Amino acid sequence: METNVPGVHEVPGMSRCYVVDGDQGVTLIDTGMPRRAGKVAEVLARIGRSITDVNTIAITHSHPDHVGNAAALKIAAQAVVLASPADSPAIRGETPTTPPPLFGRLPFLRPLFRLVPKAAPVDVDRMIDETSAAGLPEDLRVIDTPGHTPGHVSYLLDRAGGVLFAGDAAVATRNGEIKRGYFNAPLDAIDESIRHVAEFDFEVAFFAHSPGIERGARAAFQRFVEVLDD
């Protein structure tokens, strides 16, 4: 689906992921639910690109609806996979994935998390975080947004006044207001991460589980922070 940012395309689904078309090739921000690599290929075909044009797969966190097609796409594209040090062991399949925070609080939700199909493990080629983003295209930077998982990161694209890819750190309501991401409990880490995001400059924000905010996205984050501070 088209977005209002040139070269940024949404791959629709229960967990949205994003195609960033740039001078240095195509970057994927997350990869969607398992067994949906075809959806990514469809979007690439529509913009005149193909899987082999993908050279970077930037993961926000270890949950299977984000890592779902990373293994298949990495092989098909010969792409480099980037993720945070804290979430990489789960992405590699070395440790179990940390369930979202609310599942810890409400144990009856846990079976729901197990219903999400497992993602095939994939090797992480490069560890990235806010202090070290080597391997990402020059116009993309990392914002550390732990809370939803221990190593959740967001990405900020230097285009169109700044484009935030928030993953599951937050969602937007239909009115363009910010809320905590689904299954995010009101934990300090989650709210701190939203505060931290609001310190950066960006105009647009995209999320995995809600429509994006096309204008004034930072202001929406700041309004959420004001409510927290009240």
The residues binding Zn ion (CB under 5 A) are 63, 168
Q: Choose between 45 and 106: whose C-beta lies nearer to Zn ion.
A: 106
Residue 97: CB minimum distance to Zn ion, A: 9
- The residue sitting closest to Zn ion, measured at its beta carbon, is 63
Considering the complex, state which of residue 12 and residue 25 has its C-beta at the smaller distance from Zn ion: 12
* CA dihedral sign of residues 213, 215, 217, 222: negative
Closest to Zn ion by CB, 51 or 166? 166
CA nearest neighbour of 62 among 26, 110, 98, 31? 98
Q: How far is CA 55 from CA 61, 90, 132, in A?
A: 19, 22, 19
- Shortest distance (Å) from residue 63 CB to Zn ion: 3
CB of 7 to Zn ion, least distance (A): 25
The answer to whether residues 11 and 32 touch, using CB atoms and an 8 Å cutoff, is: yes
Taking the complex as a whole, the smallest distance from the CB of residue 66 to Zn ion amounts, in Å, to 6
Minimum CB distance to Zn ion, residue 192 (Å)? 17
Whose Cβ is closer to Zn ion: residue 87's or residue 168's?
168
Sort 185 into a burial class: Cβ within 10 Å, 0-12 / 13-18 / 19+.
Answer: middle
Nearest to Zn ion of 41, 82 (CB atom): 82
Closest by alpha carbon to 226, among 189, 181, 178, 185? 178
Alpha carbon dihedral 210, 65, 6, 205, in 10-degree steps, equals: 40
